[in-house]
Structure 1
Amino acid sequence: MSDPMTPEGRADLRQFLADGRNAEWSLCNDGRTVAEDASEEMAKWIADAGPCTAELIVAAVNALPALLDALEEAEKMADTKSKVADAFQQALTDEYRPHVEQNKAYGMALALQEEQLAELRDRAEKAEAALERQERELAGYRAEEQRVREWNALVNEGNVRCTWCDLRYAEREEYPCGDERDQNSHHYNADELAEARRKALDGDS
Structure 2
Amino acid sequence: MYRNRIKRVIAIIMSLCGIICLSWLYIILIIAIKIDSPGPVFFKQKRVGIHKKHFQILKFRTMRIDTPHDMPTHMLENPDQYITKVGHFLRKTSLDELPQLFNILVGDMAVIGPRPALWNQFDLIEERDKYGANDVRPGLTGWAQIHGRDELEIDVKAKLDGYYVQHMSFWMDVKCFFGTIASVIRSEGVVEGGTGTIHAKEKQDGKKLDKEF
TM-score of the superposed pair, with normalisation by structure 1: 0.18
State the structure with more CA Rg: 1
Higher strand share: 2
